[in-house]
């Protein structure tokens, strides 16, 4: 039972390079999320997708784009990486309960360093 799978686990980029973080869940969840975690800042929501075909900005969307490819997959793209995007990125999913968020299931994280 894989749950939420993120790739890659580690990545080093140079400023200006682009990359895509991949996320897939096998729990048939409607909602998926991308968070970033920085020391002393907790987790901050970048983008989320309440259901297949929809995406919305979270708290810190600048510099990122997302694609909800299908119900299973939600990718995060950095078009032109900056050192400020050095962080640990977490994908999560949840079974939507009407207007309310239930339990989130997290991946193991993708550690990104931008030089």
Partner 1 sequence: SQQGEEDPQALSIQEGENATMNCSYKTSINNLQWYRQNSGRGLVHLILIRSNEREKHSGRLRVTLDTSKKSSSLLITASRAADTASYFCATDRGMGSRLTFGEGTQLTVNP
State in angstroms the smallest separation of the CB of 7 from partner 1. 14
51 CB contacts (<8 Å, ≥6 apart)? 30, 31, 96
19 touching partner 1, by CB under 8 A: no
95 touching partner 1, by CB under 8 A: no
Backbone angles phi, psi at 13, to 5 degrees: -125, 160
101 touching partner 1, by CB under 8 A: yes
Cα–Cα distance, 96 to 115 (Å, whole number): 38
- Of 77, 79, 108, 115, the one binding partner 1 by CB under 8 A: 108
Residue 17 or 37 having the CB closest to partner 1:
37
Stretch that binds partner 1, among 15-23, 42-50, 68-76, 77-85 (CB under 8 A): 42-50
Q: 78: burial class by Cβ within 10 Å (0-12, 13-18, 19+)?
A: buried
């Amino acid at each position: 039972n894989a749950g939420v799978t993120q790739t890659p686990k580690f990545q080093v980029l140079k400023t200006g390079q682009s990359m895509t973080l991949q996320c897939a869940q096998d729990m048939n969840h409607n909602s998926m999320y991308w968070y970033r975690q920085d020391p002393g800042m907790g987790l901050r929501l970048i983008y989320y997708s309440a259901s297949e075909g929809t995406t919305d900005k979270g708290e810190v969307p600048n510099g990122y784009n997302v694609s909800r490819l299908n119900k299973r997959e939600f990718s995060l793209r950095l078009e032109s990486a900056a050192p400020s995007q050095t962080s640990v990125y977490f994908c999560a999913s949840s079974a939507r309960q009407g207007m309310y968020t239930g339990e989130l299931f997290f991946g193991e994280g993708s550690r990104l360093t931008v030089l």
